[in-house]
Amino acid sequence: MESFEQLASQYEPMIHRIINTLHIYKNKDEFHQHGLIALWEASKHFDSKKGQLSTFAYAYIKGYLLMELSKATKESERSIYPKGVFWENAVDPYSESLLEKEILFSYCHNLTPHQKKWFLLSTLEGLSVNEIAKMEKVSVSAVKSWQKGARERLKVAMEK
């Protein structure tokens, strides 16, 4: 028996013809690969006593491609791909965090720079006093004083 490369080049026009007769226009390359797989399987299952390879291969390839087409159709029916309008109206998780930051920054206008650091790092990042102290390379008591001053100023601002 000849090599599969020779067989594939010999039956290449047949595979393309079957793809065209089945009106496959999406994913042609994928279906071409399925056609080559079907040709390989047909060559393995072929019995020369029962007829010609070309007849058997045509029926086998066409049946295989119909089966793959059916699978692809079922898969596309099961999957829902939202239209562009959906993505335009989808909520961006980052926009909410930007709004949150904007609200927090509005409270910071009367805080000192150190107090702002403590306030933003503790609220946005969720860092503890110890973590802020390590990060800013200052003592824990310094960060606690920022915290105390910021709380007092924020309390006064909230009461207004």
Q: What are phi and psi of 76, to 5 degrees?
A: -70, -30
How far is the CA of 128 from the CAs of 65, 111, 115, 138, 139, in angstroms?
Answer: 62, 19, 14, 14, 13
pLDDT in tens, 124-154: 788 899 999 999 899 999 999 999 998 888 8
pTM, two decimal places = 0.50
pLDDT in tens, 36-47: 999 999 999 888
Q: What is the biggest distance separating any 2 CA atoms in the chain, rounded to whole angstroms? A: 98
Domains along the chain? 4-81 (1.10.1740), 92-159 (1.10.10.10)
Contacts for 133 with CB less than 8 Å, ≥ 6 apart: 139, 140, 142, 143
* pLDDT for 99 beyond 90: no
The mean pLDDT value for 44-51 works out to 87
Instruction: Determine the pLDDT at residue 158.
Output: 75
